[in-house]
Amino acid sequence: MVEARHWHAATLLHNGRVLVEGGSNSFGVRLSAEIYDSVRRNWRQTTSMNIARELHTATLLPDGRVLVAGGYVSPDGSVASAELYNPATGTWSFTGSMSDARNRHRAGLLANGNVLVAGGVDEDNLELASAEIYDPTTGTWSLTGSMTTTRNKHTMTGLADGRVLVTGGEMNFQTTLSSAEIYDPATGVWTATGSMSVRRVDHTATLLSNGKVLVAGGSIFGTEKTCELYDPANGTWTATGSMNASRNSHTAVLQHDGTVLVAGGEDPDLKSTELYDPTTGTWSLAGDLEDQRTGQTLTRLADGTTLVAGGVKTFSTTLNTAEIYTPSNLGPMNVNASGTFNSSSGTATFSMDVSGTHGIPTGSLSYSDPNANVTFSRVRLRKLTISGNTATITGLATLDNGTGRVSFTVTAVDKSADGSTDTLSVTLNNGYSASGTLTSGNITIQ
């Protein structure tokens, strides 16, 4: 990254890039922000926040903006202010402030597009039970029902039915909690649900594809490896396989195949990572990080890889390094195709030899529909996705007719498995589109 940081936040934007902001390093709490480009695999600075923050929350709104709320600012402590990042302009602007100043709180997007925040520590270093709602349409906050107890360093997980689960955390800075509670957006009320089998703080909670929630680790001695599953259908917890390493202050993220990746943590700062398989309830080692890390962020990218950024190494060195985790089942992809088909204006020809390593394409693609005055061979490939026998390629092309650059989407379907004729479609953002069954040539997708 441009700047070393830990206890920052990372948000996957709608355009596939990652926004990272705030955190702290040896120079103090940071207000800078930067963008990771998953295609070019590099970082660039963007406009800084209006207030330096660490231990804040960042939530992607339905319209693509990012809401940053609260956090810790030395020497003032917690802040109530919030601001919005607009990816279209690369700028930050203040929005309404929360009723309570908070750091180490949690935030989540509700089904109606509003944002719920709950708990944390206020400017007087007192723990909070209060919760409030941010409405992006008005830019204002309103108090909602308070949790049944004060909490900080807890987890918040949106459930498939729209309710929100909160687990564990600290109360009075000395009592670690095993309790859990549910927020119902329809009523604005919190109710107790089944308690975990052990007390947990600095743990992780991940919503699985089957609707259950996996809770892993935490910093209570003797339980740092243990894990359990919450079933929203009956409000109960069951034990599941333990991790290979003791972990707290680690990070976790759901993978595209339904497994859960956990990385890092304090023990001291770990290099190991591991995967949880919900079908077997077991963990397996997933390779070591290049750096020991705690206080890092973990973000799954659109291509199925996962970005690890920043953190602290051996409790003292704040890192600016970043790493990419590639699942073993994300193998190389290839689309090789050439031929013709009858478009609405005449005969169109095409040729492509595109390879994608984990969804990031390289190679060549050309297309020509002379009767429609659409021909291009100079392209910048953006993304390749393959699902079964269908490949979709997006990018930018320069039209040979001199009208400039356009974005394109090409969809190729390999029907060799059932003996049918392959098909191709091309769509440009200038209004042109064509599709058809091949009259010559072949499409091969691997």
pLDDT reported for residue 268: 61
pLDDT reported for residue 67: 98
pLDDT reported for residue 222: 65
DSSP assigned state of 148: S
Cβ atoms within 10 Å, residue 158: 18
pLDDT reported for residue 385: 82
- Give the integer Cα–Cα distance in Å for 31 and 54: 9
- Positive or negative: CA dihedral 110, 116, 118, 121: positive
pLDDT reported for residue 382: 87
- Give the integer Cα–Cα distance in Å for 87 and 213: 31
pLDDT reported for residue 269: 59
- Give the integer Cα–Cα distance in Å for 431 and 427: 8
Q: Which residues pair with 42 in a beta bridge?
A: 37
Chain center to CA of 431: 32
Residue that the structure tokens 């602290």 belong to: 312
Q: Which residues pair with 440 in a beta bridge?
A: 340
- Give the integer Cα–Cα distance in Å for 418 and 422: 10
- Return the amino acid letter for 371: N
352, 365 contact by CB (below 8 A): yes
Residues 6+ apart with CB under 8 A from 134: 67, 69, 82, 95, 96, 98, 114, 115, 117, 140, 141
- Give the integer Cα–Cα distance in Å for 154 and 106: 7
Structure tokens that stand for 192 in this block? 């107790």
| Main-chain phi, psi angles of 95, to 5 degrees | -130, -175
Structure tokens that stand for 317 in this block? 């060195």
DSSP assigned state of 153: S
Report residues of the chain scoring pLDDT below 70: 221-223, 268-269, 331, 358-359
pLDDT reported for residue 288: 94
User: DSSP secondary structure string, 287-349?
Assistant: EEEEEEEBS-EEEE-TTS-EEEE--EETTTEE---EEEE--TT--EEEEEEEEEEE-SSSEEE
Structure tokens that stand for 338 in this block? 């050439």
Residue that the structure tokens 């040729």 belong to: 351
Render pLDDT for 222-246 as a digit per residue (tens, 0 to 9).
Answer: 668 999 999 999 999 999 999 999 9
Q: For strand 374-387 and strand 360-369, is the pairing parallel, antiparallel, or unpaired? A: antiparallel
Residue 198 to residues 224, 272, 358, Cα–Cα distance (Å): 10, 24, 39
Sheet holding 306-309, edge to edge: 297-300, 306-309, 322-325
Listed residue (50, 3, 47, 43) closest to 23, CA to CA: 3
- Give the integer Cα–Cα distance in Å for 195 and 177: 9
Three-state DSSP at 57 gives strand
- Give the integer Cα–Cα distance in Å for 445 and 421: 14
